[in-house]
Amino acid sequence: MARDLNMEKIVQAAFGVLDEDGLDGLTVRAVAAKLDVKAPSLYWHVRDKQQLLDEMATELWRRLWARLGALDPDTLVRDGFRIYAEALRRTMLSHRDGARVFAGTYLTDAEVLRAQEAPLASFVDRGHDVAAVARALWLVYCFTVGFCVEEQAVSQAPDDRYSLRRRDERIGDGAELVRRAGAEFLGDPERRFAELVDILADTADRMLGRA
């Protein structure tokens, strides 16, 4: 089995461990056990957990660019910031703790970096400055990653600590504004994300001088 190991198999096994045990349970040894090999066999391919996370994040980026690359360039320019945010969120939510894996990791495949050229060119070819596009994309990226980190922390909590019912019980009588705000903080994440991305996309458009 060890002779058949490659990075693709290791990464897929790592996602399996992640979905079962979360980021805290993800170790090189756990991935080796998932593959039914000894841990030293994996160290020929990944030197430590950080490199494993980098490879996993790179695979998530591949999936993201595959989704975006299938879009018509006109669609991408017209609705690109909303589409980017929604595809980014779906990619991170596809695995337990996916947002934490995604954030702050190093892309190990230069092809994944080069895949950004076509989407950027779609904007530049229509007269937009690449620096302004990059800043707008960074704004959308940072918001979406932060939103998803919080969303998964709440949805994956082992008990009902984030439920509105429990929150209201802790608040007790009074503090009606706090109670009403909580319904927004902890309400339907799909609705909240869509509403906030609409606001953010309008801001990103203004950064390009389009609004």
Residues 133-159 have pLDDT tens digits of 999 999 999 999 999 999 999 999 888
Residue 9 in this model has a pLDDT that exceeds 80: yes
Report, as an integer, the average pLDDT of 39-44. Answer: 84
Mean pLDDT of the chain: 91
The class (CATH top level) of 59-207 is mainly alpha
Residue 211 in this model has a pLDDT that exceeds 70: no
Residue 2 in this model has a pLDDT that exceeds 80: no
Question: Please, which pLDDT band fits residue 94 given cuts at 50, 70 and 90?
Answer: very high
Residues 79-91 have pLDDT tens digits of 999 999 999 999 9
Q: Where are the alpha helices (DSSP H) in 103-188?
A: 110-114, 117-124, 130-155, 164-171, 176-185
Q: Where are the domains of the chain?
A: 1-47, 59-207
Residues 155-177 have pLDDT tens digits of 998 888 888 888 888 888 888 89
**What is the pLDDT at residue 91?**
97
The reply to whether domains 1-47 and 59-207 share a CATH topology is no
Cα–Cα distance, 96 to 98 (Å, whole number): 5
Q: What is the DSSP string of 10-67?
A: HHHHHHHHHHHHTGGG--HHHHHHHTTS-HHHHTTT-SSHHHHHHHHHHHHHHHHHHH
**What is the pLDDT at residue 1?**
53
CA distances from 143 to 21, 35, 179 (A): 26, 36, 24
- 73-93 and 189-207 helices, crossing angle to 10°: 140
**What is the pLDDT at residue 3?**
62
Q: Yes or no: is domain 1-47 CATH 1.10.10.60?
A: yes
Residue 98 in this model has a pLDDT that exceeds 70: yes
Report, as an integer, the average pLDDT of 57-77. Answer: 88
Residue 60 in this model has a pLDDT that exceeds 60: yes
Contact 190, 85 (CB under 8 A): no
**Residue 151 backbone phi and psi in degrees, to 5:** -60, -45
Neighbour-count burial of 160, counting CB atoms closer than 10 A to its CB (0-12 exposed, 13-18 middle, 19+ buried): exposed
